[in-house]
Amino acid sequence: MNTRKCCAFVLVLLLLFPVAVLAQDDATDEAMDEVQMGAWETCETPDNLPEEINLGVIYSLSGPISVYGGPQQQAVQLALEEINGSAYLGEGTTLTAIFEDSAGDAEQAINAMTKLVEEDGVVAVLGPTLSTEAFSADPIAQENGTPVMGTSNTAIGITDMGDFVFRDSLPEASVIPGTIAQSVEILGLERVGVLYGDDDDFTLSGYDVFIEALDENGIEIVGEETFSREDVDFSAQLTNLLNNDPDALIVSALSAEAVQIIIQARDLGFEGAIIGGNGFNSPDTIEQTGEASEGVIVGAAWNVASTNPYSEAYETAYEEAYGNAPDQFATQAYTGAWLFATAIRCANSAERSDIRDALAAITDLETPLGTFSFSETRDPIHDPVVQIVQDGAFAVLGAEDMEESE
């Protein structure tokens, strides 16, 4: 190639390169658009909304329960950036969040809900983090006709508090039966010991569902033991249970207690499965227990290994924003913010009762949790998953068996 032809070739490349880059960016944007959550086609862009719409958010942002609340807050912030950045509620309308810290305390949750609903005048509320907090604070939202959505409340009876109370977190009753049935089928369990917290709505509710599921699967319960929140020594209860030689331990606990139970059970030489409720379902639990968590089983609403394109797009965005993978609680918080935004868009209104009605009407919406609908009782409808800790991370229980059979 002579010098003139070479220069001409380079010039052509220089002229084409920006076009190629722009074309690639467009393709990337189009790909993201294809998997961006929202009722883009089914509900027209609203034209009747104010410039600013305030959403209240109550999560446990301090203390031991912040292991759930911190990621929840991050996920809501990510969702709002996407909602506002895409003009999902129309040009000129911004959805903002007023965050309140409940610190895992029922009284603090009540104060936060009262402030948001009665003083700040928010149109809807996400949270609180714990079921115990929700049972205390949600009646205030109900009395004031304000939609409230639990994104990590799984106890029985949450939505029974009224027609303004929703949740997008699968209740234990929708997750635990499948967890027990699949664990029995794959691990051949016959005898188990049961350990549960007897002073918390979530752990008590989980205990009830576990017992019913064990009975339905014909599993012998060789012993039951209890504990209280903030207990740190479980050696006496675990020793009593392990003396009866169970195949597995069934535990209904929040993360702080679950960490110590897992570590102390392994220290006592127990090598069998430890099956937990939703309180186990955090990467932080695995990180704090290290190798002791290998073999821990927990049912979940979502797994990071999901191949759902909406989940993959969300997970990528979350990791880019915060440098780590999201957990289930963050995913449900992210989805919850988008669900409220979708209700506002479809209602073309920021009135609380209109948002409530539009929220209840959401059906078959594609989300990171899967194809999502609300039931007539305002509980979520989508498929759960059973996880097991392998090599320091949550994996889908039985996934290897499924791959081998394919």
Q: 142-182: per-residue pLDDT in tens?
A: 999 999 999 999 888 999 999 999 999 999 889 999 999 99
Q: Which residue has the higher pLDDT, 236 or 383?
A: 236
Q: Where are the alpha helices (DSSP H) in 167-294?
A: 172-187, 201-216, 235-242, 255-267, 283-289
Distance CA 137, CA 385 (A): 30
pLDDT at 399: 61
pLDDT at 27: 40
pLDDT at 62: 97
Q: Following CA atoms 315, 317, 321, 324 in sequence, which dihedral angle do they give, to the nearest 10 degrees? A: 20
103 by DSSP, 3-state: which? coil
Percent helix / strand / coil, the chain, rounded to 5: 50, 20, 30
Q: Which residue has the higher pLDDT, 16 or 311?
A: 311
Q: Where are the alpha helices (DSSP H) in 268-383?
A: 283-289, 309-322, 328-347, 352-360
> Taking the alpha carbons of 111, 117, 121, 122 in that order, is the dihedral positive or negative?
positive
Distance CA 295, CA 401 (A): 16
Q: Is the pLDDT of residue 103 over 70?
A: yes
Tokens 């499965």 sit at which residue? 273
Q: Is the pLDDT of residue 247 over 50?
A: yes
Complete domains list, the chain, with CATH: 49-170+305-374 (3.40.50.2300), 173-300+387-396 (3.40.50.2300)
Q: What percent of the chain has pLDDT over 70?
A: 90
pLDDT at 34: 61
Q: Which residue has the higher pLDDT, 30 or 322?
A: 322
Distance CA 240, CA 257 (A): 18
Distance CA 298, CA 276 (A): 5
pLDDT at 354: 98
Q: Are 72 and 149 in contact (CB under 8 A)?
A: no
Residue 18 tokens, joined: 């920006």
pLDDT digits (tens, 9 = 90+) for 190-236: 999 999 999 998 899 999 999 999 999 999 999 999 999 889 999 99
Q: Are 254 and 329 in contact (CB under 8 A)?
A: no
Which of 63, 89, 6, 79 is CA-nearest to residue 349? 89
Q: Following CA atoms 377, 380, 381, 385 in sequence, which dihedral angle do they give, to the nearest 10 degrees? A: -140
Q: Are 167 and 150 in contact (CB under 8 A)?
A: yes
pLDDT at 94: 98
Provide the residue count of the chain.
406
Q: Where are the alpha helices (DSSP H) in 86-171?
A: 106-114, 131-143
pLDDT at 1: 39
- β-pairing verdict for 248-252 and 220-227: unpaired
pLDDT at 23: 42
Q: What percent of the chain has pLDDT over 90?
A: 81
Q: Is the pLDDT of residue 401 over 90?
A: no
Mean pLDDT of 127-133: 96
pLDDT at 28: 40
Q: What is the mean pLDDT of the chain?
A: 90
Mean pLDDT of 267-292: 92
Q: Is the backbone of residue 378 left (phi > 0), alpha (psi -120 to 50) or beta? A: left
* Torsion angles phi and psi, residue 86, rounded to 5: -95, 5
pLDDT at 12: 40
Q: What is the pTM of this model?
A: 0.81
Distance CA 29, CA 190 (A): 52
pLDDT at 15: 42
Q: Is the pLDDT of residue 289 over 80?
A: yes
pLDDT digits (tens, 9 = 90+) for 106-127: 999 999 999 999 999 999 999 9
pLDDT at 33: 53
**b/e code 281-291 from CB counts within 10 Å (16+ = b):** bbbbbbebbee
Mean pLDDT of 318-344: 96
Distance CA 187, CA 388 (A): 12
pLDDT digits (tens, 9 = 90+) for 83-98: 999 999 999 999 999 9
